[in-house]
Structure 1
Amino acid sequence: MERGLRVLSAFTGERSVLGVADLARAVGLNKSTTHRYVATLTRLEYLQQDPETRKYLLGPRAMSLGFAAIDSMELTRLAGPPLQALADETGFTASMGLSDGPDVVYVDRRRSGRRSALAVDLNLHVGSRLPAYCTSMGKALLAHKDAAELRQILDRTDMARRGPKTITNREQLTAALARIREYGVAVNDEELAPGLRSFAAPVRDRCGTVVAAVNVAVHLTVAPTTVEALAGRVEPPLRHAVAEISKRLGYRPTSA
Structure 2
Amino acid sequence: MAANLLTRALGALELLAQNGRGLGLQVIADTVDMPKSGAHRLLAELTRLDYVVQDPDSGQYRLTGKLPSLGMRHLAGTGIIGASQPLLDRLARYSSELVRLAVVDGDRLIFIAKSQGARTGLRYDPESGGEAPLFCTATAFTWLSGFSDDEAIRLIAAQGAMDPENRGPRAPCNFAQVLQQLSETRERGYGRAIDMSSPGMSAIAAAVTAESGSQVLGILSIGGPTARLTEDKMNEFAPELLETAAELSSLPALERYLSPLGRCAR
TM (normalized to structure 1)? 0.63
2:205 equivalent to 1:200: yes
Amino acid at match of 2:98: T
Q: 1:174 aligns with which of 179, 188, 191?
A: 179
Q: 1:211 aligns with which of 203, 217, 223?
A: 217
Structure 1's unaligned 5+ residue stretches are 9-31, 38-65, 252-256
Q: Is the 8 A contact 1:140 1:185 kept in 2?
A: yes
Report what 1:131 is aligned to: 133
Identity of aligned residues (%): 21
Q: Give the RMSD, CA atoms, in angstroms.
A: 3.5
Structure 2's unaligned 5+ residue stretches are 1-5, 14-36, 43-70, 256-266
Residue 125 (structure 1) shift: 1.4
Where in structure 2 are the equivalents of 1:24-173 lying within 5 Å? 73-100=78-105, 103-112=108-117, 116-117=119-120, 120-122=123-125, 124-146=126-148, 149-156=151-158, 157-161=160-164, 162-173=167-178
Residue 104 (structure 1) shift: 2.9
Residue 7 (structure 1) shift: 11
Q: 1:104 to 1:7 in 2, by over 3 A?
A: closer
SS of alignment partner, residue 134 of structure 1:
coil
SS of alignment partner, residue 182 of structure 1:
helix
Deviations 1:110-152 (Å, cap 9, x if unpaired)?
112xx63267133x11212231211111211111235554232
Report what 1:52 is aligned to: none
Q: 1:233 to 1:147 in 2, by over 3 A?
A: closer
Q: 2:240 aligns with which of 232, 237, 241?
A: 237
The separation in 1 between residues aligned to 2:135 and 2:80, in whole angstroms, is 23
Amino acid at match of 1:205: A
The separation in 1 between residues aligned to 2:83 and 2:151, in whole angstroms, is 28
The separation in 2 between residues aligned to 1:79 and 1:111, in whole angstroms, is 14
2:194 equivalent to 1:189: yes
Residue 210 (structure 1) shift: 0.6
Amino acid at match of 1:190: D
The separation in 2 between residues aligned to 1:141 and 1:83, in whole angstroms, is 19
Q: How many residues align?
A: 191
Residue 99 (structure 1) shift: 3.5
Deviations 1:55-95 (Å, cap 9, x if unpaired)?
xxxxxxxxxxx9xx669944333322211110011111100
Report what 1:246 is aligned to: 249
Q: Is the 8 A contact 1:143 1:178 kept in 2?
A: yes
SS of alignment partner, residue 240 of structure 2:
helix
Q: Is the 8 A contact 1:102 1:132 kept in 2?
A: no
Residue 211 (structure 1) shift: 0.9
The separation in 1 between residues aligned to 2:136 and 2:110, in whole angstroms, is 13
* Largest Rg, 1 or 2: 1
Q: Is the 8 A contact 2:124 2:224 kept in 1?
A: no
Report what 1:43 is aligned to: none
SS of alignment partner, residue 128 of structure 1:
coil
The separation in 2 between residues aligned to 1:96 and 1:104, in whole angstroms, is 10
The separation in 1 between residues aligned to 2:146 and 2:168, in whole angstroms, is 24
TM (normalized to structure 2)? 0.61
Q: Is the 8 A contact 1:102 1:133 kept in 2?
A: no
Structure 1 stretches of 4+ moved >6 Å: 69-72
